[in-house]
Homo-oligomer: A and B are copies of this chain.
């Protein structure tokens, strides 16, 4: 599967400064400590610097500042992680499914499936679905009535698109993701709940990645919107009518409540919770385990995650704080 490529060619292709022999060839990526001849590795986080000295890689992608400590060929760039990502994509290309529809897939007659698309075993494609060029629908995926999937998008396995959902091009949807289930909308009627029909849909832009078992609810009336380039980790909940701005990344186990609008290029840590009906500015960073209960109007970093301490100390901290809950002071 893997190609073999000379360091000189790598440097030329990705604009790296080569320090060492251009003729050595590499075939795969490896960590600094597990590398062997033929490996290319990288150093992007100084906490792994120790591994650099002892690496047996053929070459290491490093920043100018780390190049001096590199005992093998150095591929120098201001952004080693980015260069590494591109090298790894070249050496370990994504395997593509063979076009065609597996005989065990259940495909409605009215579905429009490009001839270059691949539909895997035991997938279900309902009426009026559209699958673009080179789309891959993996085993066990369910694409419901009228959903549309743009070119080169891959649903890895056992993902669900509810009726009417649309996804852009070059997206990746991991196993167990559910896109377009009903939003959580109920009206109170003297102590019981009356379901509010969720008649909106979900629109997802290009180049979006959606993690395993993540859920994105359909809109109550208008649509839930995930703009282009958004990256969602696993087990994330996106409520109805939320909007996630372009190129925002959200780490695992976070939840964005209904009708909240998150800006562009935000970086949201794991296990962050956002209340509903908020507006979050562009370029906001939220550290992990933080509650966002009010809108954020300015770019910057925000937090409320309390770091752990020994349980006995924690009890004293809680007792201290509780004194201030007792009465107005």
Residues of A within 8 A of B (CB): 28-31, 34, 45, 47, 79, 81-82, 84-86, 88-89, 92, 94, 102, 104, 106, 120-122, 124, 126, 138-140, 142, 144, 156-158, 160, 162, 172, 174-176, 178, 181-182, 184-189, 191-197, 199, 207, 209, 211-213, 215, 217, 221-222, 229, 231, 233-235, 237, 239, 247, 249, 251-253, 255, 257, 265, 270-271, 273, 275, 277, 285-294, 296, 300-322, 324-329
Known contacts A156-B181, A257-B270; A307/B318 CB under 8 A: yes
Q: Report the separation of the CA atoms of residues A300 and B202 in the bound assembly, to the nearest whole angstrom.
A: 36
Q: Are A255 and B270 in contact (CB-based, < 8 A)?
A: yes
A251 vs chain B, min Cβ distance (A): 6
Determine which of B79, B120, B121, B221 lies in contact with A187 in the assembled complex, contact meaning CB atoms within 8 Å.
B79
In contact, A306 and B324 (Cβ under 8 angstroms): no
With A and B bound together, what is the CA distance between A56 and B133 in angstroms? 39
> Hey, which chain B residues are within 8 Å of A215, CB to CB?
176, 211-213, 234-235, 252
Contact of A306 among B142, B247, B291, B311 (CB under 8 A): B291
Other A-B pairs beyond A81-B188, A142-B175, A156-B162, 10, CB < 8 Å: A31-B222, A192-B247, A211-B215, A212-B215, A252-B255, A287-B311, A291-B306, A302-B308, A314-B325, A316-B325
Chain B residues positioned under 8 Å from A181 (CB to CB): 156, 174-175, 211-212, 234
Which residues on B sit within 8 Å (CB–CB) of A191?
247, 265
CA distance A271 to B291 in the complex (A): 10
Count copies of this chain in the complex: 3
Q: Cβ of A239: which chain B residues have Cβ within 8 Å of it? A: 252
Residues of B within 8 A of A251 (CB): 184, 257
A265 / chain B contacts, CB cutoff of 8 Å: 191
Which residues on the B side are within 8 Å of A124 (C-beta)?
Answer: 120-122, 139-140
Decide if B309 touches A303 in the complex (CB within 8 Å): yes
